[in-house]
Amino acid sequence: MSRLTPVLTADQIHQVVKSIAERISRDFQGRELVLIGVLKGSFIFLSDLVRQLRIPVKVDFLQARSYGSGTSSCGTVRLTKEIDVAIRDKDVLLVEDIVDTGLTLNCLLGHLKGMGPRSVGVCALIDKRERRATDVPIAYAGHVTTEGFLVGYGLDYAEDYRELPGIFHLEL
Ligand code: IMP
Ligand code: MG
């Protein structure tokens, strides 16, 4: 039987998202900001985040699949959904649910940089910093943790648990 242990309540997540939204609103005041969510895990975080911003933004999504456990930044990552919004000369923030090794993110950042944006940064709700295998800067990190596998608030295990309003540690 699998066991769920609470890590962040819905109220705590709300506070984390609010403080990230305040920083982004301040930093990108007067700019043309495009938020790009990484599917599927970021869908709840991104939808809460945009509603707490005080600046206008455009929204799009990317999806990537990773295969195997290769250590190259892009060799095992395949893009399965491309963005539609034009990002040339725009400020871009890639919105991730959780950054673990950082390999997926590194690949996606390289891809977006190739499209000629004015800037590209990363916003992640959960940062498993200790597990990083590649150096990827996270401008806006919500909750830094060393806890094992997390689910809820968009995060899944085999497509389950995304609907939970809080975030939990999953023990199988
Ligand atoms: P990375 O390339 O190792 O950073 O993998 C990042 C992706 O793996 C995230 O976007 C998640 O989709 C997934 N992932 C990593 N850790 C967890 C976790 O604890 N719970 C759920 N998904 C995770
Ligand atoms: Mg993800």
Give the separation between CA 28 and CA 133, rounded to whole angstroms: 29
Among 7, 45, 100, 109, say which to mutate for ligand 1: greatest number of ligand atoms within 8 Å of CB.
Answer: 100
| 64-123 pLDDT per residue, tens | 987 765 444 576 788 999 999 999 999 999 999 999 999 899 999 999 999 999 999 999
Biggest CA-to-CA distance, the chain: 51
Structure tokens at 170: 């999953």
User: Is residue 140 scored above 60 in pLDDT?
Assistant: yes
Residue whose C-alpha is closest to residue 77's, from 69, 87, 67, 86: 67
- Work out which ligand 1 atom sits closest to the CA atom of 97: 10
**Quick one: how far is CA 167 from the chain centroid?**
15
CA-based torsion, 171, 157, 95, 66: positive or negative: positive
Give the separation between CA 31 and CA 28, rounded to whole angstroms: 5
| 41-58 pLDDT per residue, tens | 999 999 999 999 999 999
**Strand stretches in 12-166, DSSP E:** 33-39, 57-66, 77-81, 91-99, 119-127, 140-144, 150-151
- Work out which ligand 1 atom sits closest to the CA atom of 40: 12
